[in-house]
Amino acid sequence: MGLVWVPAAVAVAGCLAAALAFGTRFRLRSATVPSTVTGLTVIVPIRGVDDSTEANLGALLASVVPVPVEYLIAMESADDPAHAVATRLQERHPGVRMSIVLSGRAEGRMGKQHNLRAGAKQASYPAIASMDADVRVAPDTLAIGVAHLTEGVGVAYFLPQYVGPGPAGGRLVALYSNYYYQLNMGALALGRSVPFITGGLWLMSAEARARIGDLGRFATTVADDAAIGRAVVESGLRTTLVPRTVTIPFERLGLGDGLRHLHKWLTMLRAEGWSTYLAILVTWHPILWAAVAAIVVGLSGAVALAVGGLLVAIVVRLAATAVLHRVAYGWSGAWLMVAVPLYEVVGVPLLFVRGLFSRHVDWRGTRYRIGRRGLIEGTSPVVDRRG
């Protein structure tokens, strides 16, 4: 009977390890080795706009950077609503070096990376940064990123946090990203080089660009963050997680669209292989596995043991989330973590089972049929659900 607790024990141990990593390593320190950056090109690959786009780009243009910097807003055509926003920002910031890059039709390639490639080709400086249009930075964020591009570092990237308020689907997406993906993947990355990055905001050194070559290679996969991280590590350089948070507003999604958004992310994880997918299912969800064990043990009559085991898992999981808020997120929006037990017991089984059989993701009006490691095998148009 004790074997039924093994998955829960593994998940609890993983949760404790992640909390320990954040509690001891998420500390912003001055770089001990001078940065290799002499100039920076910041590229914002964009398609469409939302309520926060103009403010986010405005905050980016207000960055205080210790090296020469230029900003390239890259989109497929001047018909994109982002073109009007970028044009207004150019007029409001005449002293900032900023250009609009038109990339042309993506033609079956991943739109974000297609736009990034076009921007990189027009970059004036060999070191580049990529920022999603929904990311909000502080005035010193880029400067901190530059400081972390030290000798041997190929990419430095930031931890994103979804912040509210927002509708139910946006809260669901935030729940998964803030407390599961960022907690666990961030813990793996703290203090070591890993073959993946988080793509909201990252900076790539001139040396990494020279070794990797044309960034267009990443437009053939929907798992571009993982592909970029692998390429950097395979080139002999390191990835580094900057212990600093950038924010993203809650997605403006209803519950159904929020579920579809999570389904997209889980499909991308499934594309990394069965072993990765199942390891994530087991190690990220202590409450789920404790609940399963509690049901089995409770039916055998050991009700006190069942309740006690489940309570331990809940306390550990919420404590890990509290550590994440204390050291990385701040306490604003911490109310969201009360939904963690319900998400694990109800949402995780449904989402992960469905993800096992999915082979496509939808992004901005295009359906991508994907193979191993997220490689795009074909595309077709779909109704744009903004997921």
Q: Is the pTM of this model over 0.85?
A: yes
Please give the residue that has the higher pLDDT: either 146 or 267. Answer: 146
CA distance 42 to 142: 9
pLDDT tens, residue by residue, 111-125: 888 999 999 999 999
Whether 38 contacts 125, CB under 8 Å: yes
- Report the CATH fold assignment for 26-253: Spore Coat Polysaccharide Biosynthesis Protein SpsA; Chain A (3.90.550)
Residues of the chain with CATH 3.90.550.10: 26-253
CA distance 254 to 260: 10
CA distance 180 to 117: 30
Whether 235 contacts 362, CB under 8 Å: no
pLDDT recorded at residue 383: 62
Whether 62 contacts 87, CB under 8 Å: no
pLDDT recorded at residue 385: 47
Tokens in use for 133? 């249009």
77 — pLDDT class (breaks 50, 70, 90): very high
- How distant, in Å, are the alpha carbons of 110, 195, 355 from that of 379? 10, 27, 19
387 — pLDDT class (breaks 50, 70, 90): very low
pLDDT tens, residue by residue, 171-220: 999 999 999 999 999 999 998 999 999 989 999 999 999 999 888 888 77
pLDDT tens, residue by residue, 1-38: 678 999 999 999 999 999 999 999 998 766 566 788 99
Give the percent of the chain with pLDDT over 90: 74
**Strand arrangement of the beta sheet that strand 366-370 belongs to:** 360-363, 366-370, 376-381
pLDDT recorded at residue 230: 93
Residue 387 parent element (H or E): none
Worst-scoring range by mean pLDDT, 106-120, 136-150, 334-348, 350-364?
350-364
pLDDT of 67 strictly over 80: yes
Quick one: which of 18, 338, 11, 26 has its CA closest to 183? 18
Paired residues of 202 in beta bridges: 130, 157
